[in-house]
Chain A
């Protein structure tokens, strides 16, 4: 553990970083190991819990539509779709589809989301016209991710193996059987189910199908 560095223990001189490092390196003579452990665990739980709590706060529909960009465009379109209102009242809100469930992928997505904060500040889509102009690009981003992850966020709830095909309409039953055999993924067909499709959606669909050919 001991590292030979110019700033030896006990030396109070040097820059701020140097002094902090020395402080951290020096064993404490004042506090017992028990105190350090108890205080350490308590602060650890508080900070870790607080971090995850704060992250979950940003993982709610209320948070998403606190920006008018979301509330007036994508949320307005989502209202009334099958994921918003249905016979059983089970809803899939924004983060259920747009934020991964497991921690590692969630953190990755949350870091990516800092780019969205930048564009909120820049006002990239702060009018319906600007949003419309970027709609194809934004939709393509989401479709590409879903193709790459085999529609992971859909499959948090919808599982091919749990389909009761006998309860599906014939049209759906046939297509789902074919799709499962061909190794297709949900987003291959189910585009524009929660938001409107952009102009040129089917051209992008063809390109994506070429890009992710299996």
Chain B
């Protein structure tokens, strides 16, 4: 019995000692696991500036906010400015004709379902700084 109690006491002591070590570990989240996460930084969408492409096939980025735009089965608010002939009157970049091809490569008059959800490819950018350094260079840099 006595040895059993000793064993438990030693185990407890070890566990507490480990706990003290664990406290020194810094988490990347910046807060302990049992406390609420620190509030994230708030970033603004970059508006009105030209966002260059980094490589030829990159879908052009969106230089304005789109978070309140309705894009669903009923309505696509992006198309209200970017689809021809609206693109002429609204002076907005026209959607490329490839978006009107169906899966067999046949050109249609309405935008193809595969390309309907604009923000799957075309996204705005916020003014956030990169979290870590990287050495990515746009494909245009060498030209």
Interface residues in chain A, defined as those with a beta carbon under 8 Å from any beta carbon in chain B: 81-82, 169-171, 192-193, 196-199, 201-202
Contact = CB atoms under 8 A, between A and B. Distances in A.
Contacts of A170: 48
Contact of A199 (B48, B68, B74): B74
Contact of B74 (A81, A169, A171, A198): A198
Nearest to A173: B48
Contacts of B77: 192, 197
Contacts, number: 30
A171 B70 contact: no
Interface string B13-57: 000000000000000000000000000000000011000000000
28 contacts: A81-B68, A82-B68, A169-B47, A169-B48, A169-B64, A170-B48, A171-B47, A171-B48, A171-B64, A192-B70, A192-B75, A192-B77, A193-B68, A196-B70, A196-B72, A196-B74, A196-B75, A197-B74, A197-B75, A197-B77, A198-B74, A198-B75, A199-B73, A199-B75, A201-B74, A201-B75, A202-B75, A202-B80
A204 B74 CA distance: 13
Nearest to A202: B80
A201 B74 CA distance: 9
A197 B74 CA distance: 7
A169 B77 CA distance: 19
Nearest to A192: B70
- Of the candidates B47, B73, B80, the one having the most CB atoms from chain A within 10 angstroms of its own CB is B80
Interface string B64-83: 10001010111101001000
Rank and list the top 9 A-B pairs by shortest CB-CB distance, nearest first.
Answer: A199-B74, A197-B75, A170-B48, A169-B47, A201-B75, A197-B70, A169-B48, A196-B70, A192-B70
